[in-house]
Amino acid sequence: MEQCCQKDISAQAKVYQMYSKKLFALCLKYAKNYADAEDVLQDSFILIFNKIDQYKGKGSFEGWLKRITINVALQKYRQKTKLEVVRDAEIPDETYVDIQEKLDADFLLALIQQLPNQYRLVFNLYVLDHFSHKEIAEMLDISEGTSKSNLSRARSILKDKIIEYQKKQQGA
């Protein structure tokens, strides 16, 4: 850490080697495709190495890296496109089935990447990274109700795509 603060390239390379695979997997969750994920990872490490002296040892270093990476991904999508805000609405109380155990992880990732940006971001933050709707609302500058609505719609879209996929598999 101390060597990274002093801009030691070999120390930075070691940190990159230790954490790049985990952070890239995180980037893939937020990116629309592989190339975007690579861009987010690169931008994240640039920011990490520029701000590494700000890590004070409170909490895990990996958690700090993940937080920066998520923020970089969110910032990229805020700049790239204006998130469409879904107005607060009555949100149906859906039963959420844990589909992760039944389907291939790569297939699920591909489905998540196909979601519209606002739905994908809220889904990832809530379901995969365990942020509260209040935290998501603050991060994305939306209301808690909009966060809940976007999550509900993301789940509905994923559910429909999974049902469609399963029907194709049964018919094949």
* Domains of the chain, residue spans: 2-80, 99-171
Predicted local distance difference test score (pLDDT) of residue 90: 40
DSSP letters for the chain: -HHHHTT-HHHHHHHHHHHHHHHHHHHHHHSSSHHHHHHHHHHHHHHHHHHGGG--SSS-HHHHHHHHHHHHHHHHHHHHSPPPPPPP-----PPPP-GGGTS-HHHHHHHHHHS-HHHHHHHIIIIIT---HHHHHHHHT--HHHHHHHHHHHHHHHHHHHHHHHHHHHH-
Which CATH code for domain 99-171? 1.10.10.10
Predicted local distance difference test score (pLDDT) of residue 145: 93
Domains 2-80 and 99-171 agree in fold = no
Which CATH code for domain 2-80? 1.10.1740.10
* Arithmetic mean of pLDDT, 71-85: 69
Q: For the chain, give the mean pLDDT.
A: 83
- 9-61: per-residue pLDDT in tens? 999 999 999 999 999 999 988 888 889 999 999 999 999 999 998 888 888 99
Task: Categorize the per-residue pLDDT at 81 as very low, low, confident or very high, splitting at 50, 70 and 90.
Answer: low
